[in-house]
Structure 1
């Protein structure tokens, strides 16, 4: 199993990038250091020029992989959600009890992120911070409908569908499973943000985790 996981490759929709960054050392460095730089200065202040200076490469070389910083953010977001989906599949497939599967799934999408040693060029903890702070900028654009048609958000949509299906296993008659799934996933990002920046707006803290809150919410909503 460890040998199998060591060869795991997270797949991102091909239309997002010009050249697959996983195909070269430069591409992997672009991804690795873009995460570090965006987390440090924020997406609005991030530029390919600054990234090029950081990695010691021409700005034009970055454009050979991504046509814009928006596409780079879409790549990082897609990679993150694919990584979450991988965890959902691996950690729930052997659970036969619907309630146990629901609790594990909610835990996966709401828990505090830890670094994954299987992907050495990506710091998942920093990437999680970027998703918490910047993820909405990947889809709150005028081009969102076309990008949705082009499949840019397919991985995120699959996670919502997976969570929806798990909820329906618990209560097949619940009428709003997709809305509940989306609320748990997106709400977790907001709660993490509030916990870090607006503590008075959330009850989640060092003593009460987001996972506890969302398991409580889902359990009562599904009337388990």
Structure 2
């Protein structure tokens, strides 16, 4: 089942990009090096001009794929959530016990991302760091409602819905499944951020993930 990822294409809402970067060598290069550069200098300092210099291409060539760096960040965020959704489906597919399936789901969405041989042009561990540090900038905007209407956040919302369904499979009477699922997703990113930058205000140690905390939180909330 895990080999399924090697033949699957991660789908990102097509309104986010002008040309699908997965369809060309240059497009994949743009994605690969945008991850490296954003991780290196941060999203605020990141520009298409700097990216063009990194990949040895004109700035205008990048605009053929994305109309702005904001749309590029939306693409990276959507790609990450779609990839994580595949991980979630694969890891929980064969688990029939509802409690065990929910625990595995929590492990998947709260663990530190490790590299694998799939999608080699995308450094998934660095992309995870970008999601932790930068992804909120893709929706904390004045345009969020219009962007949501255009379907930019469909993948993000879908993974939350999947987890809320797993919560309800454990306790059908729990009335706040969506709120708990979204808290799990966003809370995990926040705990990873605290572990990296403010370690004195989290119980997640340097080498740990917030997984045990969220398993404890979810189990005790819905019992």
Q: In the aligned structure 1, how far is the partner of 2:169 from the partner of 2:121?
A: 37
Name 2:118's counterpart in structure 1. 118
CA offsets, 1:103-159, max 9 Å, x none?
Answer: 000001100110121110000000000000001000011110000000000000000
Name 1:11's counterpart in structure 2. 11
> Secondary structure of 2:118's match?
coil
Q: In the aligned structure 2, how far is the partner of 1:69 from the partner of 1:216?
A: 38
CA offsets, 1:3-28, max 9 Å, x none?
Answer: 64322110100000000000000000
Alignment of 1:1-224 (within 5 A): 4-206=4-206, 209-223=209-223
RMSD: 1.1
- CA shift, 1:200, in A, is 1.0
Q: In the aligned structure 1, how far is the partner of 2:147 from the partner of 2:119?
A: 27
Q: In the aligned structure 2, how far is the partner of 1:18 from the partner of 1:70?
A: 13
CA offsets, 1:29-64, max 9 Å, x none?
Answer: 000000000000000000000000000000000000
CA offsets, 1:173-203, max 9 Å, x none?
Answer: 0010000000010000000000011011101
Q: In the aligned structure 2, how far is the partner of 1:37 from the partner of 1:85?
A: 25
Q: In the aligned structure 2, how far is the partner of 1:131 from the partner of 1:171?
A: 30
- CA shift, 1:206, in A, is 4.3
The normalised TM-score by structure 1 is 0.97
The normalised TM-score by structure 2 is 0.97
For structure 1, the residue ranges without an aligned partner over 5 or more in a row are none
Q: In the aligned structure 2, how far is the partner of 1:122 from the partner of 1:78?
A: 13
